[in-house]
């Protein structure tokens, strides 16, 4: 039987660049170095460490990260102008593996109103930027900014030109998070067939309609071999596609994505998420997939009972697979049942006979009606009380 070849999907993390563009998420150099080291431990293929021309602080952080990180490619963003490309080239000069990521908008709305340039001039600028970037590095990525709203014929034309000039990755950002999965799939399919063997097709999906991750997965199915994303989905406006969700979807649904793998060590996902939340002060929403505080919490009695019998009843991912160390993911509240209550008490070291258990459980229910979350100390106090009353 012929086996299909395993293909690696490159994970390009832009937490330090697009993620930092999230309001209130600016980080100092020390913090950026800490994050870059964690991203390297996580196993990301490319770390977009910043936008060198944006500020001396950005340049300095990229330069320092370049000296520290050895197992991931370090990348700087640059607009398609000489000064930006030069700053990017110099900032990453000391990196063991380095990439310049240059971009220019390709949608009519951006070319006409923002750039005030004709399509021919846009192609010339893109080619010049890529050629100049190649004087610093071999690895050059070119992005058609606002690809989601660009004419595909024009993207083919500009891709031909920049590949000829030396670009090795063509990124197709859905800059304003406008597209639906089937549309991204069709665009990626057409572009990857068109550029086959000449460049890697990458996607960079924003989350304005909450579709960043779905669009990225559809892109993989249709030929994208690099996905750009951020930890906790941080990024401009509604953010970028979340790294942890893409990676865990690929892993959990290995039946669908049987021929694809990533280099991510998923056990470093939770530590990475916590580091970014602690540094930026931006907590993922409690019900955020994979890393939210409630992502592995089972509150209702029926769910808790199922979990106690077999975790697979309500859990599609094991917390330990993302590096979440929790012996017990059960949170007790007013919906909790007797089985979960008894199990929790056993974990706290209490073994009660039936009568004491029933009495404690009744008191627990009264407490839970008044108090949303019941902590271990509340339970200890309740049971100790029950025992002294008995």
Binding residues: 18, 204, 206, 240
Query: Considering the rule CB under 6 A, would residue 205 count as an interface residue with ligand KIV?
Result: no
Chain-centroid distance of CA 254 in Å reads 18
Alpha helices in 255-375 (DSSP H): 269-280, 301-309, 338-347, 354-370
Label the pairing between strands 200-205 and 7-8.
Answer: unpaired
Q: Residue 190, exposed/middle/buried by CB under 10 A (0-12, 13-18, 19+)?
A: middle
Q: Kindly state the smallest distance separating residue 174's Cβ from ligand KIV, in Å.
A: 8
* Cα torsion angle, 34, 35, 38, 43, sign: negative
Judged by CB, which is closer to ligand KIV: 54, or 247? 54
Q: Kindly state the smallest distance separating residue 314's Cβ from Zn ion, in Å.
A: 35
Query: Considering the rule CB under 6 A, would residue 145 count as an interface residue with ligand KIV?
Result: yes
- Tell me the C-alpha distance between 41 and 36, whole Å: 9
Q: Which residues pair with 104 in a beta bridge?
A: 144
Of 179, 236, 175, 239, the C-alpha closest to 207 is 239
Per-residue binder mask for Zn ion (CB under 5 A), 7-46, x = binder: -----------x----------------------------
Query: Considering the rule CB under 6 A, would residue 48 count as an interface residue with ligand KIV?
Result: no
Q: Kindly state the smallest distance separating residue 84's Cβ from Zn ion, in Å.
A: 16
- Tell me the C-alpha distance between 188 and 205, whole Å: 12
Per-residue binder mask for ligand KIV (CB under 6 A), 206-225, x = binder: x-------------------
Name the binder of 298 from Zn ion, ligand KIV, none, CB < 5-8 A by kind.
none
Among 103, 136, 257, 361, binds ligand KIV (CB under 6 A): 103
Name the binder of 103 from ligand KIV, Zn ion, none, CB < 5-8 A by kind.
ligand KIV
Of 138, 69, 145, the C-alpha closest to 100 is 138
Q: Kindly state the smallest distance separating residue 175's Cβ from ligand KIV, in Å.
A: 4
**Annotated binding-site ranges for Mn(2+):** 18, 204, 206, 240
Alpha helices in 253-337 (DSSP H): 269-280, 301-309
Residues 1-40 touching ligand KIV, rule: CB under 6 A, are 18
Q: What is the binding site for Zn ion (CB under 5 A)?
A: 18
């Amino acid at each position: 039987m012929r086996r299909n070849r395993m293909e690696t999907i490159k994970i390009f993390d832009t937490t330090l660049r697009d993620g930092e563009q999230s309001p209130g998420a600016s980080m100092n150099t020390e913090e950026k170095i800490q994050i870059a080291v964690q991203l390297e431990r996580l196993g990301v293929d490319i770390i977009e460490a910043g936008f060198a021309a944006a500020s001396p602080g950005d340049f300095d952080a990229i330069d320092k990260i370049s000296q520290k990180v050895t197992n991931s490619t370090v990348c700087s963003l640059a607009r398609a102008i000489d000064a930006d490309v030069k700053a990017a080239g110099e900032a990453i000069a000391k990196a063991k593996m380095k990439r310049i990521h240059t971009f220019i908008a390709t949608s009519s709305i951006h070319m006409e109103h923002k750039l005030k340039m004709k399509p021919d001039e846009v192609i010339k600028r893109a080619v010049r930027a890529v050629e100049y970037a190649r004087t610093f590095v071999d690895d050059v990525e070119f992005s058609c900014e606002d690809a989601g709203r660009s004419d595909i014929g024009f993207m083919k034309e500009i891709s031909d030109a920049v590949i000829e000039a030396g670009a090795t990755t063509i990124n197709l950002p859905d800059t304003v998070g406008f597209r639906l999965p089937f549309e991204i799939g069709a665009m990626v399919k057409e572009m990857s067939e068109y550029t086959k063997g000449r460049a890697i097709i990458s996607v960079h999906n924003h989350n304005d309609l909450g579709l960043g991750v779905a669009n990225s997965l559809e892109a993989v199915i249709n030929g994208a071999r690099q996905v750009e994303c951020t930890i906790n989905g941080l990024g401009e406006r509604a953010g970028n596609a979340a790294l942890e969700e893409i990676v865990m979807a690929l892993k959990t649904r290995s039946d669908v994505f049987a021929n694809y793998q990533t280099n991510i060590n998923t056990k470093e996902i939770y530590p990475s998420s916590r580091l970014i939340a602690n540094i930026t002060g931006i907590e993922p929403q409690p019900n955020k997939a994979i890393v939210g505080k409630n992502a592995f919490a089972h509150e209702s009695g029926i769910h808790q009972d199922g979990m106690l019998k077999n975790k697979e009843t309500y859990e599609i991912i094991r917390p330990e697979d993302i590096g979440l160390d929790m012996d017990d993911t059960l949170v007790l509240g007013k919906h909790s049942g007797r089985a979960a209550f008894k199990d929790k008490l056993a974990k706290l070291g209490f073994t009660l006979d039936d009568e004491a258990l029933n009495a404690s459980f009744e008191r627990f229910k009264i407490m839970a009606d008044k108090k949303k979350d019941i902590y271990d100390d509340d339970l200890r106090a309740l049971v100790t009380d029950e025992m002294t009353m008995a």
